[in-house]
Structure 1
C-alpha cells in the first residue's frame, strides 16, 4: 500500500504542475472567446485586422512568468472540472467552437480537457493563417456561431495579404495562393503536436506594427495596379472614341458621290488611305455616269473617282481603268471572258432560287440582264453576309475566269461567278453581270476614259508628296491655265497610248514619274501593236488637189485585203520565234498566217535587227499572178491554221515602215520611211511586194493611175502626203493627210458604209421561208448604242439569202436590247444580237424622222437614213463596235453638195478614233 501511495502521489503532483504550466501558455496565446469571434468576423477587411490589434494587443512573451497563477485560475474556470464520476466533462460550446475536433475518441477521455483545448487552439491558429477558407477551421462544428464564422470567412486574396504563414525562422511573409486541386485534410490521428517555439514564432509574426506595415504596402500596390488598369481603360476608350469619330467622318459607300460639286479626293471618298477601293465605289461611279448624258460631265465624274484612287490607293488605278473600259488586259493579248448569256442566267437563277426560264423571261422584258440580276439580288437575304467586294478582288476574279480552260471550265466559271454575285450589294450586281457580258452600256468610250485620266492627273498630279499632296491644282491656277494644262495632259496621254497601247506600261510610269515622262518611258516597241492610221474618203479627184495644194503627195493602189501589222523583235539579230502579226483591231493573227511567218527571213536584209511593218494581206493566185477578191481571203481559217491545209495563198503588200533597229519612224515624213523600206527589205513576187505607187501632180495623172489600179483588181487609190509636217504617221487617227479614192466614190456617196444587222423581216413570195429584208444600224461610241440607219433588201442572191438566214438564226433574241435605238414603226419581225457587220453602198443620205442614226448631230429631232442601199459584202474582219460611227454618218451627210451649198462647210479636224 505504501508502495502504491509512493507512486500515485508524485503522479498527481506532476499532473497538477503540468496543468498549471500549459494553462499559463494557453492564457498568453489565446485571447478571450469573444475576441476570437471578432477576429474571425473582421478578417474580411484589412482595416478590421489593424483595429483589432489596436484594441487588444497581445501580451509580450517575456512576461509569461509574472502572470502564471492568474492564467491557471482563469483556465480552470473556463475549461471546467477535469474529471467527474470517472468521465471527462464535455467542453462548453465556446470550447467546441474553438476546437476543430470532436471529443468522441476513447483515448482523449484520459487526457485533461485543458490540454486538449490548448492543442486544438494551436492547430486552429495555424490553420487560420494558412488555409484558403475559414470554413475549413471547424467542419464538424454544430454551433450556429461556427456557421456564422464560416459564412463570414475572408477571400483567399485577403487572407494571403493579411496573414503571414508561420515559420520557425524569421523569413519574409509568404502569401498562400489558391490551388486548382481540392484541399485535403489529414485525419485527427495524423495531426502532430507543434513545438512551443513554433507557437511563439506565430505570436511574434502577428505583431500590430508588422501587420500594419504589410497592409499599407499591399494597399499601395493595389492602388498602383488599379491606376494602371484605369489608365489603360482610358487609353482604350480614347482609341475607340477616335475610331468611332473616324468612322463617323467616313462617307458611307452607298452615299459615295463623285458627281459632287467641289469634290475633295480624300474627304468625299468612301475609303481610307491604303485601303482597297470598294467595288461599290466604282459601281456608284458607273451608275452616275449612266444617268448622265453630257459627255463633259461624264468625264468629270470619272476623273473625281480616279483622283481619289490616285491619292488614297494608287495600286488600284490600273484595275479601275480596265474595269471602266470593260477590259482585262491589252487588246493584243486577246484575254476574253468567254461567258455565254445562258451561263450567266444559270448562275443568277441558282443563286436566287429562280429557274432559267424565269430569268430569261425577266431579261426579255427588261432588256438588260444586269438590271435583272440587281433586282433579284435585292430581294435575296443571306444568313451570313460575305465580305464586301473590292476592286482588286473583282478584277483578279474576272481574270481568273478568263484564264480557265478545259472540260470542266464552264462549271468552274459558273461557281466563280456565283461567289462574286452573292457578295454584291446595291448596284454592284448590275455592273458585275454587264462586265461578264462584255457590255457596260454606260456611254463611256475609250477616248472619254483617257480624257478623264488626263483631267484627274492635271487636278491631282502624281507622283504626289505623301506629307502634303497637291489635291486640287485648279485652285492654284486660273481657269484658262488649268484648261491648257488639261489639254496638254490629254494630248500626251492619248499620243502615248497610241504608240504604246498598253495600260500595264502607261499607268505605272504615270504614277511613278508623272505625265510629262510618259513619252520617254512608253515608246513604240515590237510586240506591242499600235493603232493604225486611217484615211478619210473623198469622191472627187479635184478634192485631192484642194487638200494637198502646194504640197507633194503620192498615190498608192488600195488593195482589197486585210490590214496586217508585222512585228519582228530583236537586239543583235531578228528574233523570228517571237514575231507576230496583228490586225487593224490589234487582234493577234499570228496563228492565222503561219505561211507568212515562215517567209519572214527572206524578207529582211542583214541590216535589219528589228522592225514593224504596215502591210495589207491579200488573197493571191500564184498561177495567174492575180489578186483575188476579199471574199476568198475570208475563207481562210482564222486561228491555229496548219500550213499544209491552207488552200488560199496570201501575198503581203508592204506600204510603210514604222520601226527599224530600235528607232521609231512614225514622226518622220513618208518620203524617208518609204526610202528606208526599200533599202532594208527584199521584194519577192507573189510573197512580198511593195505597194505600187506613183507621185502625181495633175488630175489626169491621178485618173490614169486609178484606172490602172482598177485593172489590177484593186479598189482604188490611197492619196498620201509625201513630205512636210503632214507626211508623218498619225497613229490612231483618221487623218485628212491620207485620202482614199474609190471608183464607187465617184458615183453618189463618197464611201461605202459598214453597218450592223439588228433585225430581219420575213420574206414573201419567192423569198418565203427566208429573211427577205434586214434592219441595219450604225454605232454611236459616245452613247454606246446602235442607231437604226435603213432597211435593205437588194444586192442579195438566192444563195446569200439562204446563207444569211441560216447564220442569223443563231443570233435570234426575243426582244431588242436596251441599247438599240429605233422607231416602233420599223420594228422587224425577228431581232438579232449585234454580231454581223455588212458593207453597203447607197445613192445618198437624207434626214429621216423614222430612223435614229446621228440624231442630234445634224438635226435635233431627226436622224439620217440611206437612200437606195444595196448589199456589197460581209465584213468578218470587223466587230460591231467598229462599224461606221454616227459621227461619220453625219460627216458624209454634210459633205454632200446639196447640203454643202446650203450650209457652211465644217472644218477638217483630225481626232483619235
Structure 2
C-alpha cells in the first residue's frame, strides 16, 4: 500500500463523526492492507511505531517540529510558529505551507522504516540528525501525507479511536459486524500487541486468534477491581467467602522472567548489585503497559533467584524505609519511576514488590486456573517469611466468611498505615483487561457518601489572583474520558498546598497548547485561560457526585480536592462516565 493511500483513509476517519462509519472505514483499510504490512498500518493509524510496551519515542518536542516544518517547506521558522499558535495543529500547519507537488510515491513500509530509524537514533548529535531526516521525509511526501506524519512524533495523531476500535474493525473486515470482537479482545487482553493480533488475524483468521496465548515478554492487560461499600455486600458477591489481602499504596508491577533468554542491563541500572551486566531475561511492566524494567534493579536481581524456568508475576511495588521498617507514601514511592539517577534513587528509596498472583509458570499460561489454584502455586515459589531482607514478597492473605472477620482484618491493615483491602473470589479465573467483582477494593473512606476517589485528566488551568499569582495558577479544570472524548466534571481551586500548586503548574506547562484539543467538550462559560493536552492524570477526592447542567459529563464533583498525581495511570485508566453514574447511585 502506498502511504498516500493510507493518508486518504486517515483523512476520511478524521472527518467521520459516526463511530460505526469510522469502524467501517478502518475495516476497509485493513482489507486493502497486505499481510506483511497490516501491523505497520495498525501502529501508524494509532500514531505510534510499535506496541505501547516497547516504549519507542521520538523525543521531538513541538518546537523541534516547528523547525522541521520550516526546514522542509523552506519557510521562515517564525512564520511557521505564528501559524502553529493560530491553528494549534502541526499537521494543518504543514498542509498550509507545503506548496511543492513532490511525491516519491513511498509505500507504508518505506515510511514506517524511515520513522523507525529516526526514533531509534541516539547519542551525540542525534537531535540534529533527527531534524534533518524528518525534514527530508516530509519533503518526499504529498501535503496530506505530511499532515499525518507531522503529528506522530509529538503524539498528536489522535483520530478518535483506540486499540478497541481496531479490534471492532478487524471483526467488521471479516464478518461485517462485531461478532468476532469478543475473541479478538480476549487475544489482545492476554497478548497486548494490537499489531500482532491484526497480523495473526489477517494471515490465519479467527482460528489463529483462538490459539493466541500469553507469552513471556509481552504484557498481559491487568485485571482490575470493582468497589463496594460494605463487607456484607462483598461477601454476598463472592458466594459467602473470599480471600483478603492488604491493599498496598504503590504501583502495579507485572514481572516477566525467562531463564532461557539473556538481556543486558543499561549502565544506569548496573549498580553494585550485579557482578556483570548480562542476566536472565526480565521485563517489568506498569499497569498501563509501560516498560519500567531498568528503573528497578533490585527487582531484576531478586527475580534471578526464582527457582523456575519462566514466569509472569503480578504484584504491587512500594517504597520501604530499611531504618524504620515502615512503608513510605505513594508520592515517595513514585519517585522511583525515572529514566535518570536510577542508582542514587534505588539506594535512597529501596523497593519491595508484594506479589499477589502468578499468571504464567514454566511455559504454561495460568489465566484459566482459579485464584485459589494460582495462589497455591505462588506459595510454592515464594517463601512465606516476612522477608524484610527480600525485594520480592508473597502478599499476606486470609480467608473470611463473616463480616466481623472482614472488619477485624481491615482494622489491622489500617493500623499498619496501609490503605485498605483487596477481596478476591476464590474460584475466579484471571480475567485480563476486565474490571469486575472477582476482585473488590475496600479502602479507608469507602463507608462515606462517595465510595472511592476519581481519576481525572487535567484539561486546562485558570491564572491565579492574589497570592496565587506567584504560582501562575489559581484553579484547574478536570474531566473524564468517554468514548474518546473528554468531558468536564469539576473546576478545582481549593485544598492544595503551596507545593502542590507549584507542582501542578510545572506539569501543566509541559502540556500547554495554544488551542483547545479537538477531543475536548467544554462549556464555553468555563473555558480555562490555558489549555493542556491530555496527559496529566490526578486522583481527586470529593464528598459526593451531583447532576450538573454546566459540566459536559452532566455530573459534577462536590467539594473536590487533589489527593495526588497518578503518573502510573494511562488516559484509558481514568474513571469512566458509567463508573461515575454507578458511584452516584451507590
The reply on whether 1:517 has 2:180 as its aligned counterpart is no
Residues 702 and 683 of structure 1: is their aligned pair in 2 closer, same or farther, counting only changes over 3 Å? closer
Partner residue in 2 for 1:615: 315
Larger radius of gyration: 1
For 1:754 and 1:414, the matched residues in 2 are separated by 37
The equivalent of 2:147 in structure 1 is 430
Shift in Å at residue 659 of structure 1? 0.8
> 1:93-143 deviations in whole A, cap 9, x for unaligned?
xxxxxxxxxxxxxxxxxxxxxxxxxxxxxxxxxxxxxxxxxxxxxxxxxxx
CA change 1:644–1:820 in 2 (3 A) is: closer
Asked if structure 1 preserves the Cα contact closer than 8 Å seen for 2:253 and 2:287, the reply is: yes
* Coordinate RMSD, CA, aligned: 2.5
Matched with 1:140 is none
- After superposition, the C-alpha distances for 1:306-364 in whole angstroms (9 at most, x for unaligned) are 1122xxx3222121111122221122221112221111111212233332222222222
The change in CA–CA distance for 1:830 and 1:304 in structure 2 (over 3 A counts) is closer
Partner SS for 1:838: strand
Question: Any idea what SS the aligned residue of 1:825 has?
Answer: helix
Name 1:338's counterpart in structure 2: 59
Q: Tell me by how many angstroms 1:593 deviates.
A: 0.8
Which residue of the partner structure matches residue 317 of structure 1?
38
The one of 536, 540, 545 aligned to 2:226: 536
Equivalent-residue separation in structure 2 for 1:616 and 1:390 (angstroms): 44
- 1:304 is matched with 28
| Aligned-partner Cα distance in 2 for 1:798–1:539 | 33
Which secondary structure does the structure 2 equivalent of 1:728 belong to? coil
For the residue of structure 1 that corresponds to 2:393, the secondary structure is: strand
Deviations 1:498-547 (A, max 9, x none): 21223564444334432212343x32121222111111222333431342
Higher relative contact order (Cα pairs below 8 Å, separated by 6+ residues) = 2
Give the Cα separation in 1 of the matches to 2:406 and 2:236: 14
Contact 2:521 2:552 (C-alpha < 8 Å) held by counterparts: yes
Shift in Å, 1:447? 0.2
CA distance in 2, matches of 1:433, 1:572: 38
Structure 1 counterpart of 2:15: 291
Corresponding pairs, count: 568
2:121 to 383, 404, 417: 404
In 2, Cα distance between the equivalents of 1:317 and 1:327? 14
2:313 is paired with a residue whose SS is strand
The structure-2 alpha-carbon separation of the partners of 1:806 and 1:499, relative to structure 1 and needing over 3 Å to count, comes to: closer
Tell me the residue number matched to 2:407. Answer: 703
- 1:581 and 2:284 correspond: yes
Q: 1:498 to 1:706 in 2, by over 3 A?
A: same
Instruction: Answer whether contact 2:482 2:577 (CA < 8 A) is retained.
Output: no
User: Counterpart in 2 of 1:157?
Assistant: none
The aligned counterpart of 2:516 is 816
| Correspondences of 1:103-142 after superposition (within 5 Å) | none
Shift of 1:573: 12
TM-score with structure 1 length normalisation? 0.59
Tell me which residue corresponds to 2:488.
788
What's the counterpart of residue 829 of structure 1? 529
Deviation at 1:601, TM superposition (A): 4.1
For structure 1, the 5+ residue unaligned runs are 1-276, 460-482, 854-862, 901-913
Alpha carbons 1:572, 1:609 under 8 Å: kept: no
Q: How far, CA to CA, are the matches of 1:600 and 1:697 in structure 2?
A: 34
Alpha-carbon distance in 1 for matches of 2:205, 2:172: 13
SS of 1:344's partner is helix
1:450-471 C-alpha deviation (Å, 9 max, x unpaired)? 1111221336xxxxxxxxxxxx
Q: Does 1:719 align with 2:387?
A: no
Please state which structure has a larger fraction of its residues in strand: 2
Change (3 A) 1:297 1:734: same
2:275 alignment partner in structure 1: none
How far the C-alpha of 1:658 sits from its partner, in A, is 0.7
CA distance in 2, matches of 1:846, 1:638: 38
Contact 1:795-1:872 within 8 A present in 2 as well: no
Counterpart position of 1:562: 251
**Aligned residue for 2:271?**
none
Which structure dedicates a bigger proportion of its chain to helix? 1
Task: Give SS of 1:588's match.
Answer: coil
Pairing of 1:109-188 with structure 2 (within 5 A): none
Q: Which runs of no fewer than 5 residues in structure 2 stay unpaired?
A: 264-277
The CA deviation string for residues 38-86 of structure 1, in whole angstroms up to 9 with x for no partner, is: xxxxxxxxxxxxxxxxxxxxxxxxxxxxxxxxxxxxxxxxxxxxxxxxx
Displacement of 1:654 in angstroms is 0.9
Q: Say whether the 8 Å CA contact 1:387–1:423 is kept in structure 2.
A: yes
For normalisation by structure 2, the TM-score amounts to 0.91
Mapped contact 1:445–1:781 kept (Cα < 8 A)? no
2:466 to 765, 780, 783: 765
Q: 1: CA distance between counterparts of 2:406 and 2:472?
A: 43
Question: Is the contact made by 1:573 and 1:610 (CA closer than 8 Å) also made in structure 2?
Answer: no
Residue 50 of structure 2 aligns with which residue? 329
1:166 aligns with none
The 5 A counterparts of 1:455-474 are 455-458=172-175
In 1, Cα distance between equivalents of 2:517 and 2:58: 21
Q: Paired residue for 1:745?
A: 446
Where in structure 2 are the equivalents of 1:24-35 lying within 5 Å? none
CA contact (8 A) 2:244 2:399 kept: yes
Alpha-carbon contact 1:335-1:402 (below 8 Å) kept: yes
Distance 1:740 1:819 in 2: 31
Q: What's the CA shift for 1:818?
A: 2.9
Indicate the SS of the match to 2:280.
helix
For 1:391 and 1:840, the matched residues in 2 are separated by 43
Contact 2:468 2:474 in 1 (8 A): no
